[in-house]
Amino acid sequence: MASKAQLLLPSVKIPQTSSVSSMLASTNQVLSNLNTQLQQISSAFTLNKPVTTPNGSTGGITVGNITMGSNNFIRAGSTGYNAGTGFWMGYDTSPTAGYKFFIGSASGNKLLWDGSTLSITGSITATTGTIGGWSIGPDYIQDTAGLVGLSSAVTAGDDIRFWAGNAVKASAPFKVTEAGALTASSGTVGGFTLSATNLSAGTTGTYINLSSTGSIVFGVGATTAKTTITSSSVSITGFTNNPIALMTWLAGESGKLELYKASSVKTIDLNGTTGLIVTSGNIQTARYICDLNGTVSAPSFCFNTSPSTGLYLSSSNIINVTANSTDIASFSTVEIVAGKPIRGVNGTLAAPTYAFTSDPDTGWRWNSSGDMRAVSNAADVLVVRSAAIVCLQPLKLANNFVAGAPAATGYVTVQDLSGTTYKLLAAP
């Protein structure tokens, strides 16, 4: 009330000389001031008598919009426990008897106490307090010590959403960011044991140990049979047949692949400029496999000891054979063109130098210096020399005559198609 009006009573000074008239004057002044103060108070407050009506059905009373029933309840708006919209609190017997409370909308958001359980339907907003032993903050829920929690804080970075193990989220050994990045320094993942610097599985038999400090160990059969990889070396022990144990990109060398073996390391260059090259070891392979057409001096398919000898694509559908940077032949769908002399083995009667897949003992062979022979079914039929051409089998002439071998009497016989034989003198 003092905030609306103040009741101020001035002090009354009684004169030293008693005078009834002066005392009355002072009293009147005081009463006048008091009347003024009372009027100010009266204007500041309005008191209305509450309207109270009896509740005939319950025997209770209603004050304004609030009903107090005779059977132990008070309500406003609501028609009963968990009924209507408003609030209700009191004693209820359905489905179990007890003191209950309801506020909200029975068909919407509401708060219920059924005598044993508190339930809330709808959203809850809280920036402080506790729930289930968890502390509530403006943008987090965490345990009392802050070692475990969930955060909704938003910054410019990849914020941590879950953490455990440290009150400082960024230092927690387990954490998950809003982007899904997981950090963990202990536990088990798919049978692998996780530690601060290692991921390992098994101790005997087959095992693996990955270390973030730069050491990788693979073991098979026993701890003595293993491959150990560090930042500076690869070692393989315990494998009797020295298998290829690891294939990896060569660190710091774009496009280079390394094959690690117990006795050596093979480096393969795949950088697209020089193709595929084995720079060390005894792996038999070619360079420039498929990725380059090649040139006459750097063919696509070549050999370690002679990189300028091999095959290359000179133009569309034409393959050239090059030897020491020189074309010696070309192949196409139409023909084979030899740019250099074509030489073969001397050959024999059973296996001529040039023969056929379906008839390997028929073709041409070399017999001796200046002596080339045609072979048919492993038998000489024609001799070609610098001095003469000798036919060793009957010769058919112009489809009419067949010449036989020279006779000892100095003539040759000629037979026509009707079988008539003629004798021709042989020159001496």
| Distance (Å, whole) CA 360 – CA 151 | 85
- Whether cis (ω within 30° of 0) applies to the bond prior to 138 is no
Average pLDDT over residues 17-39: 68
Q: pLDDT at position 216, please?
A: 72
Q: Where are the domains of the chain?
A: 1-47, 52-120, 134-184, 344-392, 394-428
CA angle 266, 268, 272 (to 5 degrees): 170
Q: pLDDT at position 5, please?
A: 45
Q: Is the pLDDT of residue 167 over 60?
A: yes
Q: Is the pLDDT of residue 263 over 80?
A: no
Which residues does residue 182 pair with via DSSP β-bridges, in sequence order? 176
Q: For residue 424, what pLDDT band results from cuts at 50, 70 and 90?
A: low
Name residues whose C-beta falls within 8 Å of residue 99's C-beta, 6 or more positions apart in sequence: 72, 89, 90, 91, 92, 115
User: Which is higher by pLDDT, 8 or 228?
Assistant: 228
Q: Locate the DSSP E strands across 203-271.
A: 207-211, 215-219, 226-230, 234-237, 244-249, 256-261, 265-269
Q: Residues 79-101: pLDDT tens digits? A: 889 999 999 899 998 888 899 99
Q: Is the pLDDT of residue 398 over 50?
A: yes
User: Which is higher by pLDDT, 83 or 41?
Assistant: 83
Q: pLDDT at position 425, please?
A: 61
Q: How far is CA 413 from CA 316, 383, 389, 404, in A?
A: 57, 21, 19, 6
CA angle 233, 235, 236 (to 5 degrees): 160
Name residues whose C-beta falls within 8 Å of residue 409's C-beta, 6 or more positions apart in sequence: none
Contact 78, 88 (CB under 8 A): yes
Q: pLDDT at position 285, please?
A: 43
Q: What 3-state class would DSSP assign to 43? A: helix
Q: For residue 289, what pLDDT band results from cuts at 50, 70 and 90?
A: very low
Instruction: Find, among 45, 43, 40, 34, the residue nearest to 8 by Cα.
Output: 34
Q: How far is CA 424 from CA 246, 399, 406, in A?
A: 83, 18, 9
Q: pLDDT at position 341, please?
A: 79
User: Which is higher by pLDDT, 236 or 374?
Assistant: 374
| Distance (Å, whole) CA 293 – CA 317 | 11
| Distance (Å, whole) CA 414 – CA 409 | 15
User: Which is higher by pLDDT, 232 or 178?
Assistant: 178
User: Which is higher by pLDDT, 350 or 407?
Assistant: 350
- What's the distance, CA 83 to chain centroid? 54
Phi/psi for 79 (5° steps) reads -95, -10
Q: Is the pLDDT of residue 213 over 50?
A: yes
Q: For residue 125, what pLDDT band results from cuts at 50, 70 and 90?
A: confident
Q: For residue 19, what pLDDT band results from cuts at 50, 70 and 90?
A: low
Q: What 3-state class would DSSP assign to 95? A: coil
Residue 223 identity (one-letter amino acid) = T
Which residues does residue 301 pair with via DSSP β-bridges, in sequence order? 311
Q: What is the DSSP letter of 167?
A: S
Q: Helices H, strands E: what count in the chain?
A: 1, 38
